[in-house]
Amino acid sequence: MLFALKRIDLVEGFQGVAFGTMDGLITILGVVIGIANATQNSAIVVISGLVAGVANAFGNSIGFYASELAERAEHLHENQHVSSMTEARRSTLLSFLTSLASMAVPVVPFTILANLQLAMVVSLIAALATLFALGSMVGKLSREKPWKFGLRYVLLGLAGAGLSYIVGDVLKDLLTVGHWIIP
């Protein structure tokens, strides 16, 4: 059976791509950095990253779709240009797929590197490089300085990773003292 493939206009659906990629990267980077710091166990990091990645992608797409519908209703009410339902669905699907795909960036280093600390560094660098590229594209599409947007996205990624590292550190201390994690 042959399927006719429609050309997906990525500029039209870029809002979904940008949302899914940025949220997926920052969320899953935070999960893997925090879990790695708390447990010092790559298997738990990979499992947590994959489960959180799937749940995050689903939640992103549902939230994005609800937001698109609300924006559409507002535009209808104000007699402004209204996006079609096809555009809303396309952006939602792109949000889901890019959020799901972006999960691989911070998780893969924990599957291929035996040294947990090195995996954390590689995961952080790969995620920040991807965030910089995404920010640069957003800056270019916005007719702003791409490097400024790229840097802004990197700083947001660092803030998320730093916060998650601290939470992981606190939880490691609490869990170790409470003997909830076997050392």
Q: pLDDT at position 35, please? A: 94
Q: Which pTM value belongs to this model?
A: 0.82
Q: How far is 182 from 121, CA to CA, in rounded Å?
A: 25
The domain ranges of the chain are: 14-171
Q: pLDDT at position 3, please? A: 41
Per-residue pLDDT of the chain in tens (183 residues, 90 and over written 9): 334 344 444 455 678 888 889 999 999 999 999 999 989 999 999 999 999 999 999 998 898 888 888 877 777 777 777 667 788 788 888 889 999 999 999 999 999 999 999 999 999 999 999 999 999 998 888 888 999 999 999 999 999 999 998 998 888 877 776 555 555
Q: pLDDT at position 178, please? A: 57
